[in-house]
């Protein structure tokens, strides 16, 4: 129960990111551009600095030959998967170039859903790993959970911003941000009950690298173009840099 409580605390911190977005009353174009850029910065930094190297490390630990080859293969497989899904969903559901307000809202909604799914999948093995550390040594796991909680706050922002703009429902967007973090304790439970005998370093390595590819695609194809379309180009770029900086600090706390 102690190990599960530690994972639950870390996972629910995404709700704080969603709350920060919900409390912003009337977001200006500058705030929207900076927030979406921030979300892109978070996802790009996670992908290239955390997920992809962890994918390589997992493949190396498993003894896979040429991990520096197979990790990029998994990365681009993730890119290809999300690109194919993006292209073949009908335009009525997934508008690509239509500039109308309705299409813009649909695009924003899809950005939020894709971001939530990517972060949810990312948090699943993180919860699994944290739980097993806590089982062995709760004292060691507690500061790790605090660092992960800080690390998850901007992820909640990344989920909530596009969903709020798409639906106009700030508390529902905050709720989705909270739900994306619940996969962390869910990963702990499922990992403990079912996956421990099967989920080895090779499977985790491929998964991490593929998720990195998915998150990079979402950032470059959805978040950044939407941020720049507000007309606040510099605010979007400053947001990207700020998102990367926040994630850099949170990852330093994890080491």
* Residue 40 near residue 119, CB atoms below 8 Å: no
Q: What pLDDT digit, counting tens, does each position of 134-155 carry?
A: 766 676 566 667 666 766 777 7
> Known binder of ligand: residue 92?
no
Residues 6+ apart with CB under 8 A from 93: 106
> Known binder of ligand: residue 155?
yes
* pTM of the complete model: 0.66
Positions in the chain short of pLDDT 70 = 25-27, 89-108, 122, 125-126, 129-130, 132-133, 135-137, 139-144, 146-148, 150-151, 195-196, 198-199, 254-255
> Known binder of ligand: residue 50?
no
Residue ranges per domain, the chain? 1-22+42-253
> Known binder of ligand: residue 96?
no
> Known binder of ligand: residue 184?
yes
Residue in 24, 12, 40, 9 with CA at minimum distance from that of residue 171: 24
How far, in Å, CA of 72 to CA of 12, rounded?
31
Residue 58 has a CB neighbour count (10 Å cut-off) of 23
Check residue 69 and give its pLDDT: 94
> Known binder of ligand: residue 94?
no
């Amino acid at each position: 129960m102690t190990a599960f409580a530690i994972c639950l605390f870390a996972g629910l911190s995404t709700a704080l990111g969603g709350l920060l977005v919900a409390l912003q009353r009337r977001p200006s174009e500058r705030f929207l551009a900076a927030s979406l850029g921030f979300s892109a910065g978070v996802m790009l930094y996670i992908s290239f600095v955390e997920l992809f190297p962890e994918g390589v490390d997992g493949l190396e630990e498993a003894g896979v030959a040429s991990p520096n080859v197979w990790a990029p293969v998994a990365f681009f497989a993730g890119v290809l998967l999300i690109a194919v899904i993006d292209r073949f969903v009908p335009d009525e559901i997934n508008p690509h170039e239509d500039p109308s307000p309705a299409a813009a809202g649909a695009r924003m909604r899809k950005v939020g859903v894709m971001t939530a799914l990517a972060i949810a999948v990312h948090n699943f093995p993180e919860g699994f790993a944290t739980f097993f550390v806590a089982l062995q040594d709760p004292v060691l796991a507690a500061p790790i959970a605090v660092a992960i909680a800080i690390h998850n706050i901007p992820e909640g922002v990344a989920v909530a911003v596009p969903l709020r703009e798409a639906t106009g429902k700030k508390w529902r967007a905050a709720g989705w941000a909270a739900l994306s973090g619940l996969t962390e304790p869910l990963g702990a439970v499922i990992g403990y009950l079912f996956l421990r005998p099967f989920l080895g370093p090779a499977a985790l390595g491929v998964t991490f690298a593929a998720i990195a590819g998915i998150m990079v695609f979402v950032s470059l194809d959805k978040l950044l173009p939407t941020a720049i379309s507000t007309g606040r180009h510099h605010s979007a770029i400053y947001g990207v840099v700020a998102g990367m900086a926040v994630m850099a600090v949170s990852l330093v706390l994890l080491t």
